[in-house]
Structure 1
Amino acid sequence: MITSSSILACATCANSFKHGGQDAAGWAIALMLLVIVPLITMVVWFMVKIAKRERVGLDSQYCDDYVAPPNNS
């Protein structure tokens, strides 16, 4: 089994291991998570907020009543 972490890393991170104190990949993953998780959270929050606002402000005259399709069997 390969135990050297510099062999398992991609070319970009492998070079950073030499200069970054052997923890460049960990910091890169942490930075990506610190950027991506709040971004996705804000997008989901904004979409839910828009959906709730639309439901509250929806005029009932524009809503269609559900009509079940006829059973032709």
Structure 2
Amino acid sequence: MKYVIVTTEWCLNHGIIIPIEARKSLDGTKVIFHEELISPVIRERSEIKSYLWDSEELHEILNSEEWTIKENLNYDI
């Protein structure tokens, strides 16, 4: 399975409604979709990169500060 990350602005410009349950970046400017969900809208010359579901690159992106709140696990005893 492949995923794509697009901006919310791109979605608005292409008539794509972002589901409430879709995973978004913390600032809400990017969203991740299954590639097949928006493949009819993606053009051949589109510069939207796709990521395999188990790729290290996608894992790193989704675990970055842009997508995940990092909790301070400083336990003082």
Instruction: Verify same fold: TM over 0.5.
Output: no
**Structure 1 or 2: more helix by fraction:** 1
- When Rg is computed on C-alpha atoms for both structures, the one with the higher figure is 1
**Structure 1 or 2: more strand by fraction:** 2
Relative contact order higher in (CA < 8 Å, ≥ 6 apart)? 2
Please classify the TM superposition score into its range, dividing by the shorter chain length.
Answer: under 0.3
